[in-house]
Structure formats: structure tokens, C-alpha cells
Amino acid sequence: MRVNIVLLPLIILTVSSCSVSKIAMRSDDPEFIGKFLPGVIEKDEKKLVKTPHDTALALETGSFYVMYANAFVQGPAEMLPVERYEEKESKLAEAKTLYLKGAAVLAQALERKYPGFGRIWSADGENKAAILAQIKADDAPFLYWNAGGTLSAYAINPFDFELGQKIPTLKAMIDRAYALDPNFNMGALDDFYILFYASMPDALGGDKSKVPEHFRLAVEKSGGRLAGPYVSYAQSVTIPAQDYAAFQENLGKALAIDVNKDKDNRLVNTINRRKAQYLLDNAILFFAEAGGETDWIDDGERAEDEEWFDGDEEAVDGEFVYGEHSQRE
């Protein structure tokens, strides 16, 4: 069983003002970005080895690792059919490696900015809070991507007890990021909370009663321009509740998002709309009552999705030099 945390909402490409990020945000061609990002990450890694104190570069490198793992490795892998089980498991293992590499880059940057930050993993509650209290508002993205990457790695394998022990600290990091910048990336933290509170058991910080408010805030802060919150809610709330009508309603809203109206988020909306379409096309896997096709299925889009994932798998299978960073935190 997998913990369904942080699947696609992490792909909010606003980590820097560099031309790479602008290209990625405005693209409506996931296949192109899927082939483009590995080269960018490799170049960034090489630069980072030469300039290890460039924390802005570390943020870009670490977050791109997490984005790539999320959108172009784990995302397509989760949509593979049952008969391709071994390929799926291989891709998920690759995604976990990438998540942890990204988290390691970000953790090292935090240690450089705030010497002693690495002690947070073994600190008690009071000392943990004191370490986090040092973090400035401008550094909230480091906490977000570090926690998101680590939790995504854990979600792939909830039996990784070493990662599981980090969950309370990761939750504290996200809470601190939220306190510093609650509007970060158009409500990305609220989107994160939808998945976290809905998916985690109570003993690890889950709290389903908090999900509706964060869903409302995620939609409000994004101005209704992002498909992500609707997909997150459909996956993490309506499927466990077996509420097929709400499942269709929220995915329908995701599909109704016009990717051309918000060019800065064209890529993330394209990817999340495709995820929504996949879920609707395969609703029978989640709901016994889901017979036949839904009103939201678009055969043209389905064909495009299949072409994209086939192409993307080739990109993932291609050479990708991950760089010098280890998985140390």
C-alpha cells in the first residue's frame, strides 16, 4: 500500500527568475520539458560543485530534481497498466532516488545558510522549534522543497522506516514555511496540506478535519486558475470516501481550467489536467459504480496523453547524469 502524498502539486515552477524557469512555466509541452530538465539539472550540479555557497543555485537544482521526479518519473509510472508492473516499480525506485538527491541538495544549502540546521533531525521539540525559528521568510522555499521531496520519497515506500521517522520534523518544516509565507506559490502549501492531512494516519500528523479549509484556501489563493487543488482533493478525499459524484465534479473542474489563460502556469495545468483525465478514464479502478465513460472524457486528449507518456518514458530511460551530490542530510 502506498501513502498517496504529494504526487503532482509540487510542480509549481516559480523557484527562480532564471530563463529556465520561465521556459518551463510557460511551456505547454511536457514532453519537451521532460527531455529538457535532465540537462539543466546536470549543468546546475556541475556549477554547484564549483560554487557550493551559491544557495540560489542550490534551490534551483534541488527543486528541479523534485519536480522532474514528480512530473516525469513518478507521475507517468503511476499511470502504467498492471501488466507493466516491473517497469512501474523500477520507475518509482528511480523517482525515490531523485527525490532524495534533491532533498540532499536543499538540506546542504540550509546547513550553509544556518549552521547547525542538520541537527534538526535529532533535536527534541523545543530545540527543533528553535532551529526552525532562525529561518527567514525568503528561505521558505527551501523548507517546502526539502520536505516535499523527502515526503514524496517516503510515499513511494512507506516501509522505509528511516524516512518515516522524519515525518514529524518534515511536518514542522512545512508548518514553519506556512507561517513565513502562507501564500507561497499561489497556495502550494495549502495544496500540500490537502494531501498530507488526508493521507497520513493520525499518529503521523494526519487530520482529515483540516482538509476542507485548506482546499478552500488553495482554490482561493490560486484564484481558481490551477487544476492541482481539484486533482489533490479528488485523489485524497473523494476516493477514500467513495464519493464518485464529488470525484467527477472536482476532476471536471480541473479539466475546465484553460491552460492558455495563465501562461505562467501552463505546464503545471497541462500536467494536472492530464492526470485528471487519466483518473476519470480509469475511474473503474477506484469506484465500483464507475461504469462506462464519463462526460469529461476527450478522446483527442486521451490520444495526446498516451503519446506524451510514451515519449516521456523514452526521455526517462535516456542517460541522466545525476551529479555529485549524495543522499546525505
In tens, the pLDDT along 261-271 reads 888 888 889 99
Rounded to an integer, the average pLDDT of 210-218 is: 97
Cell 501488466 belongs to: 83
Average pLDDT rounded to a whole number, residues 202-206: 91
Angle of helix 188-199 versus helix 211-221 axis, rounded to 10? 160
Neighbours of 70 (CB within 10 A): 24
Alpha carbon distances (Å) from 190 to 14, 129, 262, 278: 16, 21, 20, 24
Task: Count CA atoms within 13 Å of residue 314 on its CB side.
Answer: 7
pLDDT of residue 267: 87
Percent of the chain, pLDDT > 90?
Answer: 70
**Which of 134-148, 168-182, 203-217, 282-296 is predicted least confidently?**
282-296
With beta carbons less than 8 A apart as the criterion, state whether 237 and 265 touch.
no
How much is the pLDDT for 258?
A: 94
pLDDT band with cut points at 50, 70 and 90 for residue 16: very low
pLDDT at residue 321 is higher than 80: no
Instruction: Look at residue 175 and tell me whether its pLDDT is greater than 80.
Output: yes
Q: Given a cut of 90, is residue 293 above it in pLDDT?
A: no
* pLDDT tier at 105, thresholds 50, 70, 90: very high
Over the stretch 141-160, which tens digit does the pLDDT of each residue have?
A: 999 999 999 999 999 999 99
Q: 459504480: which residue's cell?
A: 289
70-94, pLDDT tens digit by residue? 989 999 999 999 999 999 999 999 9
Backbone phi and psi for residue 288, each to the nearest 5 degrees, phi listed first: -65, -30
pLDDT of residue 282: 94
Cα–Cα distances (Å) from 316 to 35, 60, 83, 87, 196, in that order, read 8, 20, 19, 12, 27
Decide: helix, strand or coil at residue 17.
coil
pLDDT at 262: 86
Alpha helices in the chain (DSSP H): 19-26, 30-50, 55-68, 75-78, 85-113, 125-133, 140-156, 161-164, 167-180, 188-199, 211-221, 228-233, 239-241, 244-255, 266-281, 299-317
- Domain annotation for the chain: domains and CATH numbers: 19-317 (1.25.40.920)
- Please tell me what DSSP assigns to residue 286: T
Residue 162, C-beta contacts closer than 8 angstroms, at least 6 positions apart = none
Distance CA 131, CA 250 (A): 39
- DSSP letter string over 222-276? TTT--SHHHHHHIIIIIHHHT-HHHHHHHHHHHHT--TTT-GGGHHHHHHHHHHH
Residues 175-195, mean pLDDT to the nearest whole number? 95
pLDDT of residue 23: 53
Query: How many whole angstroms separate alpha carbon 63 and alpha carbon 80?
Result: 25
